Chain A
Amino acid sequence: MLNVSNLITEFASIKALNDISFQAKPGCITTVIGANGAGKSTLLRTISGLERPTSGSIKWLDQELTNKSVESIVRSGIAQVPEGHAVISQLSVAENIELGGLFRKRKARGDLEVATKEVYELFPILYERRREPAGSLSGGERQMLAISRALVSRPKLLLLDEPSLGLAPLISAQIISIVNELCRNTGLTVLLVEQNANTALAVADHGILLALGKVVANLPAKELIADSSLRAAYLGY
């Protein structure tokens, strides 16, 4: 269970996150939606330790995360797939995947091989192109690679930052449905940030609507889809 309470993150005294509280239930997809600048990315970056909150708490499996380093947060089972298909373009596809599991190479070499095989089975195109530099991949393939890099660390909580951004609808649907399957089949907890609210809410169990750094709705996904007045007010359609 991820438990965020009263979280405030400031950038030069502007509150990007203003008193955010919510929970992400284990084995479920919780999606965070909202317009540009609502604080969605800041929320994920604060959870993964890339940004330091001014106050508030983030608890994961009863451990406080707000005073931990990025590396130790990753090592406690939280993997972030950052915005913009973040892979290292000069490294090969295989090296990008290896990087994700590097920190547990000494302790869990065997499982690392299994995990690597699994992501190649999940995304066969990456296996075909494993020796090519990641920069030569298409946008969708790079997103698959970024997800694979996160998966080989065997996360219990996956933070996805706008995985469909800049992708063709068909490919973004494919990626979302793979994330959905992962969650249902392996019990992975997913926190999915999306601007594309419909796609995200279609697979999510729970939806959180952010506006200007505040939670304006925290509802089961089905209810959030149905609430046309909320959509009209905050998402503009």
Chain B
Amino acid sequence: MDSFLTAFFSGTSQGAIYALVSLGLVLVWRGAGVVNFAQMGQAMFTTYIASQLIQNNYSYWSAFVIALISGAILGAIVDLGLMRPLTSRKNSQLLNSQSMRTTIPVIASLGILGVLKSLAGIFWAGEERGFPTPVPANSIKIGSTNLAITGFDLFVIGVVFITLVLTTIFFTKTGMGLAMRASALNPEVTRLSGIKVGSVRTLGWAISGTASSLAGLLITPKTNLSPNTLDLLLIVGFTAAVVGGLTSLAGSVLGGFIVGYVIAFVNVYGAPENVFIAILVFLLLALFIRPQGILGSKEVRRV
């Protein structure tokens, strides 16, 4: 029972972080049709910014907020500075074919990842460093029994829960949320409704940047921070997004938690070195059994 609870709680708090990563990926995929390989590079970079601020005696919370804002700005810069100019050059010969139009941004995102990693190496010497937690990372005690959950786990679950509630309210109750969903589903009809689809898309990149920046802040106390530590997180997040259905925001969050549990249970009942294989096996199984994802919709074409 003890090991079950350990796996369950660790799965929930890790799954919450994967849900953020997956949400960030799906936001950009739906909004801009780009698989953003730079996403965790952006998160790594903003977590370094937070780490630098904390070293310079800023409080955890001010560093936390500044990192989230930098995440939003970095996301917007990637779109405005690179993705938009790359895809809007209509007369370029290369961009005439649909397949190139979809491939080029993906390759570009790999380029950004490389640039961000090099910059982190230049600014922070690429050394691996720890990252603090705002609450103690010890197991919570009731009386004399240690629970299988730490204070920091509860913090992670709480922060992600609040984020998801705010995101849901934003998408379902506000005009801007409606504009974002509409732009992702049908850009032409949305533009004909007088909405600036380009700006809405940039906002999507910014929100995605914030979500991944938050994921970076929440995961690095456990993994430590180096230019490469968040690479695995992208793969896990991508698996979660595919399992959830790539086009569904709710699905991406659900996928995050499912993958979190898979990893936690393999870790506790199997061996930690098998986790990576388990993720890939799980991804393949999910693709075989339900290729459109749990909440994804099959593409229906009316004629």
Residues on A facing B (Cβ under 8 Å)? 48, 50, 69-71, 74-75, 79-80, 82, 86-91, 95, 98-100, 102-105, 149-150, 153
Contact = CB atoms under 8 A, between A and B. Distances in A.
Interface in B168-206: 175, 178-179, 181-182, 185-186, 188-197
Interface residues of B, number: 19
B188 A82 contact: yes
5 contacts: A71-B194, A74-B194, A91-B185, A99-B178, A102-B193
A88 B194 contact: no
A88 B182 contact: yes
Nearest to A90: B185
A91 B181 contact: yes
Contacts of B195: 71, 99, 102-103
B188 to A, nearest CB: 7
B194 A95 contact: no
Interface string B14-50: 0000000000000000000000000000000000000
Contacts of A48: 192
A50 B189 CA distance: 11
A86 B178 contact: no
Contact of A71 (B185, B186, B196): B196
Interface in B192-231: 192-197
Given A102-B178, A102-B179, A88 B192 contact: no
Contact of B192 (A82, A95, A104): A82
Given A71-B197, A86-B189, 19 more contacts: A48-B192, A50-B188, A50-B191, A50-B192, A71-B194, A71-B195, A86-B188, A87-B189, A88-B185, A88-B186, A90-B185, A95-B182, A99-B189, A102-B175, A102-B193, A102-B195, A103-B193, A103-B195, A153-B193
A91 B193 contact: no
Given A50-B188, A102-B175, A149 B182 contact: no
A191 to B, nearest CB: 14
A95 B189 contact: no
B188 A99 contact: no
A74 B193 contact: yes
Rank and list the top 7 A-B pairs by shortest CB-CB distance, nearest first.
A74-B194, A103-B194, A70-B191, A88-B186, A99-B193, A88-B185, A100-B193
A95 B182 CA distance: 9
A35 B137 CA distance: 73
A153 B194 contact: yes
Contacts of B185: 88, 90-91
Contacts of B186: 86, 88
B192 A102 contact: no
A69 to B, nearest CB: 8
